[in-house]
Chains A and B, each alone.
Chain A
Amino acid sequence: MDSVNEIPDEVLIKGMREGNHQMIQALYTQHYPMVRKLVIANSGSESEAKDVYQETIIVLYENIQTKGFNLTCKIRTYLYSVSRNIWLKELKKRIPQTTDLNDHKHFVDVNRDFDKHEEKQKRLDKIQLALEQIGEPCKSILTYFFFNRLTMEEIATKMGYTNADNAKNQKYKCFKRLKKLVLKVK
């Protein structure tokens, strides 16, 4: 998409960093067709293309939030390279004989970013699995606190505790338990 009214990379990056929805939307639509083409040309489906692309955006988004992240190439090239990596890995999993993708575009080495991403993914998976297994009332308390960002007063009310201090104490214990569980998850 080399249209004239394409938003410059610096502007997009700044918008991403600030979590600006319009900028995220602009970036999303600016490069999706490229990734879609890549995935579909390599025996992927429309919805797989979407999945690959969204994971790629997550990689970029989280990198941009990190201090000291410096994009050494164009966003377009970066997104293409990460998507390529993700899809190639997925294909290899399905068809072990896969060696490379069928494409002709220029890409850069994003292995380091990708490995970091995978490592992080493993950590997050463990936490989510532990959260699934932790049981009540911990699951509710931790979800309310960390995901819904409720105050301890609100949590106390929801959980039927007499005051916020009770809820806090429960949360401390729950967090400790979550930590233990995360270590146990394979």
Chain B
Amino acid sequence: MSNDINISDLDIEKYFDGELPKEKIAAFEEKVVNDALFAREVREHRQMRLDLSIIRERHTLSQLMDQIHEQEYGKIPKLMPEKEQGLESENPKAIEQSLTSQNENETQRSNRVISFKTFYLSVGAAAALAALITLGSVWILNQPGDSANTAASGYQDLLMEESQEKRADSSSDRTDRHEDRKVVSSVSKKYVATAFAIAKDGYFVTNNHVVEDCSNLKLKTKTEDGKWVDFEAKVILNDTLSDLALVQVMDSTFTELGVLPFTFSSKGAQMGQDVFTLGYPKKDVVMEPGTISSTTGLDGDTTAYQLAMSLNTGNSGGPIFNTKGEVVAVVKGKHNGKEGTGYAVRVEYMLDLIEEFETENSIRLKKPRYNQIQYKSRVNQINHIRQFVFLVEAVK
């Protein structure tokens, strides 16, 4: 087995797209032969790609058949209106969405119209959907929501701009929360947010939107005598999907932190759980208590939790702890215009990111193993945790 080339499971999709570099193909195929588990992954992957194309073909065929049917036999009066409406409620996610703000519903509707016009025949797709649902199958092929619109409808990330100048594109023309930072601006801006240690030897987690495209990155902390010290750092892995980034301190003055007293939850959080976060909405660390109010984020986002928590700019990237002092999520944003509603990335995605980094680089980070604070009072917990929560300063 040639072990010098590392094949990760992200390479499977690359392989099927024909995007895997030549030198990796041989190693990939060898791994399939030698690694039964990997071979199974690849088979399942292939099956899912096949299934996705079947879904697509069925959709097209159903539309064609509806067209034919209407042409030949006319429209069938709907005998089961309750099923028709049931289309939305067949899908648990849809119920949730219907309870969200009007803005979001409106965006959804307009997206659907645009997408159908652009991509599919004009025939009633809803009829096709209803048709298959009556036979006990789920046939939901909702059109994608545009991330740009989702952003406009109520999501705001929480990094704080230190510079006084307002960028021209910041308010009215704001179309996308990623996009708006990519707009070339000649003046560099300093943003402030939060990061926390996930290993004692200089590895931190924060939000990707905090550090994305930054030219300079510093982690700062206050020493016991109240002085600020800062460390140069760089992004070593990021994921725009979960909006998380792994940051490493690259500064000779940095000495290992003590053993982390907190751990990462393996179970995640449940609705109704009390939680708190530590972060830098001002130039000092601030504790903010709250509750997990939903196990999904904005628009049914399953990568996130919704929080009843008053969050502010600067809180981005802060750890969310449960009462045992385990990290259950990472703050990423809040609902724009709806005070007290925040969003945080589930801890699984942070663990995924760490794991990805570890496998890609064949190293193990010194993650905490034992929770030393689970039976302590919150005041005590915070005293132990606060030295591991840093301020991030990103220059973009």
CA distance A144 to B52 in the complex (A): 12
A contacts with B, residue count (CB < 8 A): 66
Chain B interface residue count: which class? 35 or more
Residues in A114-131 with C-beta less than 8 Å from chain B: 120-121, 123-125, 127-129
Residue in contact with A135 in the complex, picked from B19, B47, B51, B301, CB distance below 8 Å: B301
Contacts of A21 in B (CB 8 A): 64
Q: From known contacts A146-B52, A170-B241, infer whether A24 and B132 are also in contact, taking CB-CB under 8 Å.
A: no
Contact check, B55 vs A54: say whether CB atoms are below 8 A apart.
no
Q: From known contacts A28-B65, A50-B76, infer whether A172 and B14 are also in contact, taking CB-CB under 8 Å.
A: yes
Contact check, A54 vs B144: say whether CB atoms are below 8 A apart.
no
Nearest CB of B to A48, in Å: 7
Contacts of A174 in B (CB 8 A): 241
Is B251 located at the chain interface by the 8 A CB criterion? no
Max chain B CB contacts within 10 Å: which of A32, A61, A134, A143? A143
Query: Which single residue of chain B is at the shortest CB-CB distance from A54?
Result: B65
CA distance A168 to B241 in the complex (A): 12
Is A162 located at the chain interface by the 8 A CB criterion? yes
Is B142 located at the chain interface by the 8 A CB criterion? yes
Residue in contact with A160 in the complex, picked from B61, B178, B296, CB distance below 8 Å: B178
CA distance A109 to B134 in the complex (A): 24
Residue in contact with A50 in the complex, picked from B17, B56, B69, CB distance below 8 Å: B69
Is B190 located at the chain interface by the 8 A CB criterion? no
Contacts of A138 in B (CB 8 A): 241
- Binding site secondary structure of chain A: helix
Is B23 located at the chain interface by the 8 A CB criterion? no
The segment out of A1-9, A71-79, A98-106, A176-184 that lies at the interface is: A176-184
Contact check, B138 vs A160: say whether CB atoms are below 8 A apart.
no
Is A113 located at the chain interface by the 8 A CB criterion? no
Contact check, B134 vs A48: say whether CB atoms are below 8 A apart.
yes
Contact check, B300 vs A135: say whether CB atoms are below 8 A apart.
yes
Residue in contact with A54 in the complex, picked from B56, B62, B303, CB distance below 8 Å: B62
Residue in contact with A46 in the complex, picked from B48, B76, B297, CB distance below 8 Å: B76
Is B103 located at the chain interface by the 8 A CB criterion? no
Residue in contact with B54 in the complex, picked from A62, A168, A181, CB distance below 8 Å: A62
Query: Which single residue of chain A is at the shortest CB-CB distance from B49?
Result: A146
Contacts of A125 in B (CB 8 A): 137-138
Contact check, A140 vs B144: say whether CB atoms are below 8 A apart.
yes
4 A-B pairs with the lowest CB-CB distances in the bound complex, closest first: A140-B144, A135-B301, A146-B52, A160-B179
Contact check, B138 vs A146: say whether CB atoms are below 8 A apart.
no
Is B339 located at the chain interface by the 8 A CB criterion? no
Residue in contact with B55 in the complex, picked from A48, A147, A149, CB distance below 8 Å: A147
CA distance A46 to B68 in the complex (A): 15
